Structure 1
Amino acid sequence: MNNIILEARHINKYFHDPVTVKVLDDINFIISKEEFVSVVGKSGCGKSTLLYILSTMDTDFEGDVLIDNESLVHKKEIELARIRNEKIGFIFQFHYLINEFTVLKNVMLPGLKLAHFTEKEIEQRAIEKLEMLDIKDLALKMANKLSGGEKQRVAIARALINNPAIIMGDEPTGNLDKKNREIVFDIFKRLANDYQQTLLIVTHDSTLAEISNRSIEMEDGKIIRQ
């Protein structure tokens, strides 16, 4: 049985504005099921650029990315959207919740889009995710009434709704104070240890890197340690 969830093969990326600059240079690594991996490095080293390629949001690159043994190269946008929705849960630095919706509806949205279950079943799954993150009591609160830390926990619940093969995060603690960073650290540890969730988190935060199982360190568009 193949336990590889994500594989990057010889990824190269160029920016062309105004001159051509190579921003990712022959990136190769694998992430296995249940691994909690952090990607670290100084600002501008290419880690967020890499994450956007791995998450199917950027398709202008050389090489190949496989998620759950399925290559992302040469796929049409509709196919990439399906993979994104089914296989990837994404957590941004900013939560991107819809303020006019309740917490429950925000968490349900990716499930409603995927439409593998009835609305009632998706609602039940959303409540389970909120309960898992100890924020079930916020379910009927409007998103614009939440604190920053609460919003990020709701964003994590939303990322989990479709039971993704992998959770990807781009500086998910970068906008939080110390107390809320620690809450999110604890959530990631629980997701990895108790729920066997595979995680790939880009971060500047040394504490987050320390609690991950493995760190991939980047410098000037290259992996220098993994």
Structure 2
Amino acid sequence: MQKQKVIEAISINKYFYSPVKVQVLKDVSFSVNKGEFVSVMGKSGCGKSTLLYVLSTMDTDYEGKLLLNDQLITGQPSHNLSILRNEKIGFVFQFHYLIHEFSVLENVMIPGLKLNKLSREAVEHEAMEKLRIFDMQDHALKKANQLSGGQKQRVSIARALINNPLIIMSDEPTGNLDKKNSDLVFGIFRDLVQEFHQTMLMVTHDAELAEKTDRTIWMEDGRIISHY
């Protein structure tokens, strides 16, 4: 049975112009299947974060093709991409980007309210359900700045899940955490893949974490040099 491709990059080339033309992604092609946990590894400056920005549709200035759920998204208007990004892609970053004056619950609700497909009450219910997954429901009414680093990252993962995305993309999600919280966050990612069949794509410099994912894409100087 053919596996469903959630995201596929075909011959992606990307250039920076600062001040001279530099190629930062070189003929990058790969796909991530539904329910797969894939990591992207490589030295600093190899192009892995740039690749993530292209895959997330936040950077549209590239050559090549990008497909999400077999739909060509290259060349779509920015308004369409914004809706697609909010609905289909969840994001977890090294820095959680929570709004400190908002409660934990309000932070998780933001992408759901922005999508505007459910009532506020339904989004609130969904947000509480996501917080329960991470045992954070008792902190729902706390302000985000009252949480520890590990708790903030759990809330940011709950927020990434609120619209039940096709794929979660994360850029160095454990880079700002100590070993204990790093292991905790990675454990959450693994559970999401195994229990909820969530598709995950994680950029990391941590070889120990990458080894625990289903497959690792190795990058060097803007190219994919192996994936296994």
| TM-score category, normalised to shorter length | over 0.9
User: Matches of 2:122 and 2:20 in 1, distance apart?
Assistant: 51
In structure 1, what is the equivalent of residue 214 of structure 2?
213
Q: Deviations over 1:124-172 (max 9, x none)?
A: 1101111011111111110011111111110000000000000000000
User: Matches of 2:192 and 2:158 in 1, distance apart?
Assistant: 11
User: Matches of 2:45 and 2:74 in 1, distance apart?
Assistant: 25
Q: Which amino acid aligns with 1:134?
A: D
Segments of 4+ moved more than 4 angstroms? none
In structure 1, what is the equivalent of residue 36 of structure 2?
35
Q: CA deviation at 1:115?
A: 1.1
Contact 2:218 2:226 in 1 (8 A): yes
Contact 2:3 2:34 in 1 (8 A): no
Q: CA deviation at 1:73?
A: 1.3
Question: Sequence identity, in percent?
Answer: 60
User: Matches of 1:62 and 1:158 in 2, distance apart?
Assistant: 31
Across the aligned residues of Structure 1 and Structure 2, the Cα RMSD in angstroms comes to 0.9
In structure 1, what is the equivalent of residue 10 of structure 2?
9
Q: CA deviation at 1:205?
A: 1.1
User: Matches of 2:8 and 2:154 in 1, distance apart?
Assistant: 28
In structure 2, what is the equivalent of residue 135 of structure 1?
136
User: Matches of 2:176 and 2:164 in 1, distance apart?
Assistant: 25
1:101 partner SS? coil
Q: Which amino acid aligns with 1:48?
A: S
1:194 partner SS? helix
Equivalenced residues, count: 226
2:25 partner SS? strand
User: Matches of 1:82 and 1:207 in 2, distance apart?
Assistant: 35
User: Matches of 1:66 and 1:83 in 2, distance apart?
Assistant: 12
Q: Deviations over 1:31-61 (max 9, x none)?
A: 1100000000000000000000000110110
In structure 2, what is the equivalent of residue 61 of structure 1?
62
Q: Is 1:186 the equivalent of 2:225?
A: no
User: Matches of 1:195 and 1:162 in 2, distance apart?
Assistant: 14
Q: CA deviation at 1:16?
A: 0.8
Q: Which amino acid aligns with 2:77?
A: K
Q: Deviations over 1:2-36 (max 9, x none)?
A: 61100000000011111111110000001110000
User: Matches of 1:218 and 1:104 in 2, distance apart?
Assistant: 37
In structure 2, what is the equivalent of residue 74 of structure 1?
75
Alignment of 1:114-193 (within 5 A): 114-193=115-194
Q: CA deviation at 1:207?
A: 2.2
TM-score calculated relative to the size of structure 2: 0.97
Alignment of 1:97-116 (within 5 A): 97-116=98-117
